[in-house]
Amino acid sequence: MTNRAQVEVDLSAIAANIARLKLHAGVPLLAVVKADAYGHGLIPVAKTAIAAGAQWLGVALLEEALAIRGAGITVPTIAWLVPPGSDYVSAIEAEIDLAVPSIMIFKEVSLAARSVKKRARIHIEVDTGMTRGGFLDEWESFLDLLVSNRNDVEIIGMFSHFARADEPGQVQNVAQLKRFIEMSDDLNRIGVEPEIHHLSNSAATLVDASAHFDLVRTGIAIYGLTPDLDHLGTSAHLDLKPAMRLRAKLHLVKEVLAGTPVGYGATAFTTSETKLGVVAMGYADGIPRIAQGAGVFVAGRRAPIIGRVSMDQFVVDLGRDSTAQAGDWVTVFGAGSEGEYTADDWGKASASINYEIVTRIGPRVPRIYKLATS
């Protein structure tokens, strides 16, 4: 077991966030656990989510859904990025719900269902204005096709995704909601009435009650992170508890003079005599190479990054009178309540967002779990 870096996941924080979001939404909740549960660990998070009241799970990939079934988890689970040519037979046999966003996929799923004599559980995915997933130009032809050709599928749901739910009051949200209802009416007109309509991500779950319908799909918020720092505020402002803390070891501490160049390209120089700390994590572990303006928390204070992040390590300016020593643990990011940097700070420091920071921590960093207490 490594003792140079670790992700600590507080499952009780995830359970608390889910309970809070469920209460707020007032409808069933689907926990989005794609991308290894946003880097927090697929199976531990999936189990925690269900115990905390999530009735559904959602993932992008078929492999992710199959891993959930492989762990003995049987709650309804949707996979929404299962491209043409995928092993739809396995999905149908494992009772995985599939998003259907195109005629091509509808036909392949239907064929797979016929071959195993079992109806596929599908959710019709409609493009209401994000111009990414879901039916757009093919919609009328798909409706025509559905009129006479839907015996191989069980149409469980219809859904869409917001492009700007993190910007309350944006007119595009109103337009997407309106289009969603129109497309639902189109289905009803040909006698298709899915039981479950779902449209809301975390941001819409938090701020737009008119978009909750029958199920909300919450991702980032269950991990205690804000969907949008600028428009919706911090985790604390949203009453969410960040579940992930990233820690690493200080590999070296060294005293240097003012004017000392640091790192590849000598892109930074010390401005005064100081102590530098070498942190045993780098871009191969998911620390963005371009990050500037974040750092670590050690010996009671923040120590900012100095110079470029390398593959396995980066350097921080500890300050001349720091008491930090080689071998100490530093907090790269956490909830922020003790002065440490947050995933939001790291997102900002690398022209990105908290989503990218937590999902990109590499596989060589072990996940350590603090169990949810019930």
**Footprint of ligand PLP on this chain (CB under 6 A)?**
32, 34, 80, 161, 201-202, 217-221, 227
Rounded to the nearest whole angstrom, what is the least distance from the CB of residue 153 to ligand PLP in the complex? 19
Q: Which is nearer to ligand PLP, 157 or 282 (CB)?
A: 157
Closest CA to 196 of 122, 288, 274: 122
Verify whether residue 348 is a known catalytic residue: no
By beta-carbon proximity to ligand PLP, the closer residue of 227 and 277 is 227
Q: Which of 34, 241, 249, 348 is catalytic?
A: 34
Q: Which is nearer to ligand PLP, 232 or 303 (CB)?
A: 232
Residue 23 CB, shortest distance to ligand PLP, in Å, is: 17
Nearer to ligand PLP by C-beta: 58 or 282? 58
3-state SS, residue 17: helix
Distances, alpha carbon 339 to alpha carbons 161, 195, 244, 274, 306, in Å: 35, 47, 15, 21, 19
Residue closest to 191 by CA, chosen among 126, 155, 147: 147
Q: In the complex, what is the shortest distance from the CB of residue 94 to ligand PLP, in angstroms, rounded to a whole number?
A: 20
The strand pair at 244-256 and 329-333 is best described as antiparallel
Q: How far is the CB of 242 from ligand PLP (least distance, A)?
A: 14
Contact predicate 294/341, CB 8 Å: yes
Taking the least distance from each CB to ligand PLP, the nearer of 28 and 263 is 28
- The answer to whether residues 119 and 152 touch, using CB atoms and an 8 Å cutoff, is yes
Pull the structure tokens for residue 34. 């794609």
* Cβ(134)–Cβ(180) below 8 Å: no
CB 109 within 8 A of CB 100: yes
In the chain, % helix, strand, coil (3-state, to 5) comes to 35, 25, 45
- Please state, in angstroms and rounded to a whole number, the distance separating the CA atoms of residues 349 and 344: 8
In the set 178, 254, 264, 370, the catalytic residue is: 264
CB of 60 to ligand PLP, least distance (A): 6
Give the nearest distance from C-beta 297 to ligand PLP in angstroms.
26
Q: Cβ of residue 17: shortest distance to ligand PLP, in angstroms?
A: 11
16 close to 241: Cβ distance less than 8 angstroms: yes
Rounded to 5 degrees, φ, ψ at 5 are: -160, 145
Joined together, the tokens standing for residue 151 give 């015996």
- From the CA atom positions of the chain, what is the Rg in Å? 23
DSSP state of 284: G
- 283 flagged as catalytic: no
**Identity at 303, one-letter amino acid code:** A
> Which sequence positions are flagged as catalytic?
34, 264
